[in-house]
Amino acid sequence: MDKPSYQNRMKWFLHDRFGMFIHWGLYAIPARGEWVRNAERITSEEYYKYFEEFNPKSFDARKWAALAKKAGMKYAVLTAKHHDGFCLFDSRYTDFKATNTPFGRDIVAEYLKAFRDEGIKVGLYYSLLDWYHPDYPHYSDSVHPMRGNPEYKDAVHNFDNYLDYMHSQVEELCTNYGKIDVLWFDYSYDDMRGEKWRSTKLINMVRSHQPDVIIDNRLEVSGEGFGSIATDNPTAYSGDFVSPEQIIPPKGILNERGEPLAWESCITMNNHWGYHRYDKDFKSSKVIIRKLVECVSKGGNLLLNVGPDANGVIPEESAGILCEIGSWMEKNSDSIYGCTHADLEKPEYGRITRKGNKYYFHITEELIGPIPIYGFRKEQIEKIRLLATGAEIPIAEGWVTKNYPDYVFVHYGPEQFFTYPLPDPVDTVIEVTVKQ
C-alpha cells in the first residue's frame, strides 16, 4: 500500500464522518425489502413485471440531496446495481436498466449531479452478485433465488463471461460519470471472494481511472469480516476501510499491531435496506444521533440508509427523522466533523469526541450535581463552553467536589451544586478547550 496516497485520499472521509446510503431499485414495487427475490425465490421471468412497470413519477434527486444536506450528511452512496442485477445507470452491456423502463432516465447521472450541486461527496454501490445474469451461478449458489431449484440443476454457466460483464460495468461507472468519491462493492461470501472476482485486475482498472476513490473491503469479506486490511500484508484489493453492518464495533477496529483502522458502520433506519411497506420499526432521531456520536468516539463513520418507495420518495418517517438529526447537527456538528476518539476513559454519562485540543463531552444521562470532566486538571483547561450556544460553562469548586481532586467539575445551571435538566435531552455537548 502506498501510505501517503492512502492518507491523502482518506482525509475527507475521516473528516466528514456522516453519510447517506440509498437502496433503491425494482424491489421498491413489491415493497417487501431488497432481498425479496431471494426470500420468495422469485424467478427472473416473474420479477421482470416490475421492470416493465418501473416509472417513479415523483423521483427528484434534488430533493434527496437537499434532505441529506439538511441532516448534516457530507457524502452519499447509491445502489447503482443491487443483487437483482437491475442497473440504475445506462450501461451498454445490459438491457436490464432504468433507461429501458417506462421511466427511461439515467438515475445515477441525476443522483450524481444533484448531490454534487449540494456539495456532497458522491459514492456508488455495485453488487458483485447478480441474480439476473445467466452466467452467475444459480443452483449451487447459497444465496441465489434459484438455489436448489431442480430446473437449474444442469444449467451450464460461464463465470468468466459474468466477470467480463461485471468488470466492464464497473469501468463504465468509473469513466462515464466524472469523479467518484466512494466505490462500495458488496459482497464476498463462501468461495466467492478475492481473486474469484479477479479482484487485483479490477482494482488496478478502477485506480487507473479513479486514483482517489475510496473503496470498501468487501472484495474479500462481507459485513462480518475485516479482511487483509487488518494485517501486515494487505492485498491489492483489501480496500480502504472496514464496513461493519448493522452493528457498531464495541471498541472501534484495530489492525494486528493494535493501530486504529478506518471503518464505517452502515445501518438501516428501520429493519430493511430497500423499501418495505410494513416495516415501521424506525429508529428515533435520538438513537441515531447517539449512535453517530458513538461511531465518531470510536474513530468511525456512520452510513445511514434510506429506502425510497416505488415513486422515488424517501418515506415520510425517514424524512422526519433526518430533519430532527439535522436540527441537532446544526448546533453540534463541530463535535462530529473532523473528530475522532479522545483516548480518554469513557464517562458513565455519555461519550467523548476530539478534534485537536478540543474535547467534546457528550452528555446523554441526567446527573446529580456537577458534571465531572475526565482526564484534565484545572490548570490544563483554557475554556469550557456549551457547544450549541457558545455560552461559558463555569467550573464548580467547593466542598461537594473536594474529595475528587483528579476531576474538574462543571455546571450549566445558575447554582453550581444544584441539579438541572440537560439543556438538550438527546445529547448536550460541552466543548473543553485544552491549553496547547
- pTM for the structure as a whole: 0.97
> What is the chain's mean pLDDT, rounded?
97
Domain span at residue 41 reads 3-335
Q: Is the pLDDT of residue 398 over 90?
A: no
Closest CA to 298 of 375, 245, 351: 351
By the 8 A CB rule, do 425 and 356 touch? no
Residue 124: beta bridge partners?
A: 78, 183
Closest CA to 22 of 78, 88, 86: 78
| Residue 266 and residue 400 share a domain | no
Closest CA to 54 of 99, 114, 109: 99
| Residue 368 and residue 281 share a domain | no
Q: What is the pLDDT of residue 161?
A: 98
Give me the count of residues in the chain. 436
The answer as to whether 375 is a domain residue is: yes
Q: How many other CB atoms are found less than 10 A from the CB of residue 154?
A: 7
Closest CA to 376 of 347, 402, 408, 400: 408
| Residue 415 and residue 293 share a domain | no
DSSP strand pairing (300-306 vs 18-22): parallel
Euclidean distance between CA atoms 123 and 213, whole angstroms: 9
- For cell 502506498, the residue is 2
| Residue 186 and residue 237 share a domain | yes
**Residue 420 cell numbers, joined:** 438541572
Euclidean distance between CA atoms 26 and 91, whole angstroms: 16
Higher pLDDT, 223 or 382: 382
DSSP string across 152-172: GTT----HHHHHHHHHHHHHH
Euclidean distance between CA atoms 205 and 89, whole angstroms: 19
Number of structural domains (the chain) is: 2
Q: Is the pLDDT of residue 354 over 80?
A: yes
By the 8 A CB rule, do 219 and 166 touch? no
| Residue 289 and residue 325 share a domain | yes
Q: Given pLDDT bands bounded at 50, 70 and 90, which one contains residue 126? A: very high
Q: Is the pLDDT of residue 243 over 90?
A: yes
pLDDT in tens, 250-281: 999 999 999 999 999 999 999 999 999 999 99
| Residue 410 and residue 308 share a domain | no
Q: What is the pLDDT of residue 415?
A: 86
Average pLDDT over residues 128-132: 98
pLDDT in tens, 187-202: 999 999 999 999 999 9
The answer as to whether 14 is a domain residue is: yes
| Residue 363 and residue 298 share a domain | no
**Residue 429 cell numbers, joined:** 455537548
pLDDT in tens, 34-78: 999 999 999 999 999 999 999 999 999 999 999 999 999 999 999
Average pLDDT over residues 335-363: 97
By the 8 A CB rule, do 357 and 435 touch? yes
Q: What is the pLDDT of residue 418?
A: 86
**Residue 176 cell numbers, joined:** 462515464
Average pLDDT over residues 410-431: 92
Average pLDDT over residues 344-370: 96
DSSP string across 196-263: GGTHHHHHHHHHHH-TT-EEBSTTT--TT---GGGSSS--TTS-SBB--BS---BTB-B-TTS-B--E
The answer as to whether 226 is a domain residue is: yes
Q: Given pLDDT bands bounded at 50, 70 and 90, which one contains residue 416? A: confident
Phi, psi of 205 (to 5 degrees): -65, -50
| Residue 378 and residue 268 share a domain | no
| Residue 129 and residue 101 share a domain | yes
Q: Given pLDDT bands bounded at 50, 70 and 90, which one contains residue 374? A: confident
Q: What percent of the chain stands above pLDDT 90?
A: 94
| Residue 384 and residue 323 share a domain | no
Q: What is the pLDDT of residue 3?
A: 86
Phi/psi class of residue 343: alpha, beta or left (left: φ > 0; alpha: ψ in -120 to 50)?
A: left
Angle, helices 199-209 vs 159-175, to 10°: value is: 20
The answer as to whether 343 is a domain residue is: no
End-to-end CA distance of the chain: 34
Domain boundary among 335, 359, 390: 335
The answer as to whether 258 is a domain residue is: yes
Q: Is the pLDDT of residue 1 over 80?
A: no
| Residue 25 and residue 124 share a domain | yes
Domain boundary among 274, 304, 335: 335
Q: Is the pLDDT of residue 184 over 80?
A: yes
H helices present in 315-368, as ranges: 316-332
Euclidean distance between CA atoms 159 and 197, whole angstroms: 10
Residues 6 or more apart from 218 whose CB is under 8 A from it?
A: 128, 184, 185, 186, 187, 188, 239, 243
By the 8 A CB rule, do 102 and 53 touch? yes
Euclidean distance between CA atoms 255 and 194, whole angstroms: 19
The answer as to whether 340 is a domain residue is: no
Q: Given pLDDT bands bounded at 50, 70 and 90, which one contains residue 109? A: very high
Phi, psi of 313 (to 5 degrees): -105, 130
3-class DSSP state of 181: coil
By the 8 A CB rule, do 76 and 121 touch? yes
What CATH number does the domain containing 404 carry? 2.60.40.1180
Instruction: Look at the alpha carbons of 328, 334, 337, 341 in this order and tell me if their dihedral is positive or negative.
Output: negative
| Residue 280 and residue 314 share a domain | yes
By the 8 A CB rule, do 214 and 14 touch? no
In the DSSP assignment, the letter for residue 315 is: P
The answer as to whether 365 is a domain residue is: yes
The answer as to whether 345 is a domain residue is: no
Euclidean distance between CA atoms 365 and 425, whole angstroms: 8
Q: Is the pLDDT of residue 181 over 80?
A: yes
Residues 6 or more apart from 269 whose CB is under 8 A from it?
A: 282, 283, 288, 304, 305, 306, 317, 318, 321
Closest CA to 109 of 32, 172, 29: 172
Domain boundary among 274, 305, 335: 335
Q: What is the pLDDT of residue 2?
A: 83
Please state, in angstroms and as integers, the Cα–Cα distance from residue 227 to each residue in 26, 73, 262, 363, 415, following that order.
31, 27, 13, 35, 53
What CATH number does the domain containing 280 carry? 3.20.20.80
